[in-house]
Amino acid sequence: METEKSETPIETTTKSGTRSKPKTRNPKSKFKKSKSESASAATIIYVPVLVQNIPSDTSTTTTAKAGKSVKAAQPVLNEQQMKDWRCQADDCTADATTVGRYYQRHRICPEHSKAPSVLFNGTQQRYCQQCSRFHELTEFDGSRRSCRRQLCRRRLLRTLNTLSSEEVEQM
């Protein structure tokens, strides 16, 4: 990363209103107040701190309604990957161009992601929405789409969050 240092002259005014000789500063710098500023309110001296130029790719960003920069929608798969893409479920003929980005990324079609059981590698399994993987049917409670392990993990995290917030309130 490069640092850019372009200096521009600035003038300071003393307490009596006379101008002192021009100082130079970096226009892209963040300023820190010097000790002399706290001692005398009339003379303001800023100490420049260099800011590194961070290259940004403006071609992939767009402006949202709120004025925030958002990554533009980019395809998850290129053309060759689209040709080779197929759902992980056995004997599925879903087309990659018709499914959304989530399904392309996890190589599963919408029908099999929501199905109660799917033939996967010769065994009946179900797709877990938390793990984004197939598990045996015994790892799920009833018709839930998240495996027991992930449900326990989430329950534990929720409990820890409530305990830590209660401790903060007691202080």
How does pLDDT run across 46-72, given as a tens digit for each residue? 555 554 554 544 444 444 455 555 555
Residue 129 buriedness (CB in 10 A; 0-12 / 13-18 / 19+) = middle
Whether 39 is in a domain gets the answer yes
Cα separation, 40 vs 37, in Å, equals 5
- Flag the least confident range among 16-25, 89-98, 126-135: 16-25
Query: Are 88 and 138 in the same domain?
Result: yes
**Cα maximum dimension of the chain:** 89
Whether 66 is in a domain gets the answer no
Whether 22 is in a domain gets the answer yes
Domain boundaries, position 24:
8-49
* Whole-number pLDDT of residue 30: 54
Q: Which CATH number characterizes residue 149's domain?
A: 4.10.1100.10
Query: Are 44 and 99 in the same domain?
Result: no
Q: What is the pLDDT of residues 142-168, one digit of tens each?
A: 888 999 999 999 999 999 888 877 776
Whether 71 is in a domain gets the answer no
- State the chain's mean pLDDT as an integer: 71
Residue 96 has φ and ψ, to the nearest 5°, of -65, -25
Query: Are 44 and 87 in the same domain?
Result: no
pLDDT band at 44 (very low <50, low <70, confident <90, very high): low
Whether 146 is in a domain gets the answer yes
Whether 57 is in a domain gets the answer no
Whether 67 is in a domain gets the answer no
Whether 166 is in a domain gets the answer no
Query: Structural domain tally of the chain?
Result: 2
Residue 120 has a CB neighbour count (10 Å cut-off) of 21
* Whole-number pLDDT of residue 84: 76
Cα separation, 89 vs 124, in Å, equals 10
